[in-house]
Amino acid sequence: GYTAVAEFHYLHNEPGDKGAADAMFAAIVAAARESGIRLTFVPVLYERAGLDEALRTAQQERFARTVDEFIAHYESAGSQAQKSDGDGFRVGIGAHSLRAVTAESLSKIAAVAKADSVPMHIHIAEQQREVDQCLDAHNARPIEWLYDNHDVNENWCLVHATHIDEREIQSITDSGAVVCLCPSTEANLGDGLFPLQNYLEKGGRIAIGSDSHVSINPFEELRWLEYGQRLISQSRNIAAIRRQQTGRSLFEMALDGGALAGGEPGGHIQTDAVADLVVLDDDSPMLVGHTTRSLLDALVFSGFTLPIDRVMVHGRWQVVDGRHIKEQEARQAYAAVATELEFDGGAS
């Protein structure tokens, strides 16, 4: 059901291969075009292991770039995006986190994002440890420090923002920035729960992300989001603040916020909008008996196996009769690669 993705990408290096960053970029663009999904490529700057720590492992060295190398890579990607054939390929800029990027470098890349009017993404306040480290280093919480030092606006996407206080919530909602929530990943990592009810009551915007890909089901992300909030509040229908139906409220907020996070023109069916459509299977037992009023509730809260019949992206049908038009090829290619990899159980 996803029709567009913002790829938060920071695997830039391969030992002994100076062209690895460009090769990875080309592979991501090729994969997006092959699958038919629209891509916002967000290269991510990663300089250090912590606020006062150097890179410590060979794995972290694969992420690292100098800020000048990073900007050159972004500009190269942007140039290719401008030459694309109208398939919806665009670019953004990302900073891994306040922990992994120096204040000087963040200022440089934020200035580039502002000048080019592209989305600016950053992981922030994901875990309590990050908040504590930021308080020790800057005498300010992560979101607090960001807003005190940068002109954050609707082009910014704050990923996670799990541990935020009342003042920080107000800063985000006043700025128009979107918070990208990744409920299945945040649960998998034990990060904590975002203060959704308070945030929505102040008019906050949300998007959802698959992050570590423990789940790639958009409706499961929305279900996790709502159920987590119910557990801590001991009440129901937390997201049904702006609209009566919880499922519809979650779905429409995610559409609006997702389009904003990706710098996308989509999110709505209207004249001159991008032709992205998802057609549901009317014969699915999950949907039988539901009206348009309750349909999205059924998808969010019962959509363990999604009853999707067709998906159109940018005016082209990519899923027909419940199957991607290149599903068999993709399965075979994935199996060939996966059998050569060693999995260590990291997604447990």
Active site residues: 160, 211
> Which DSSP state fits 12?
-
Sign of CA dihedral 34, 36, 41, 47: negative
Q: What is the CA radius of gyration of the chain?
A: 20
Contact 160, 186 (CB under 8 A): yes
Question: H/E element holding 110?
Answer: helix 103-116
Q: What gap in Å lies between CA 29 and CA 174, rounded to an integer?
A: 35
Alpha-carbon distance 25 to 21, whole Å?
6
Residue 114 CA to residue 141 CA, distance in Å, equals 23
Q: Among all chains, which residue has been given the structure tokens 């919880």?
A: 246
* Burial tier of 161 (Cβ tally within 10 Å: 0-12, 13-18, 19+): buried
Residues 137 and 130: beta-carbon distance below 8 Å: no
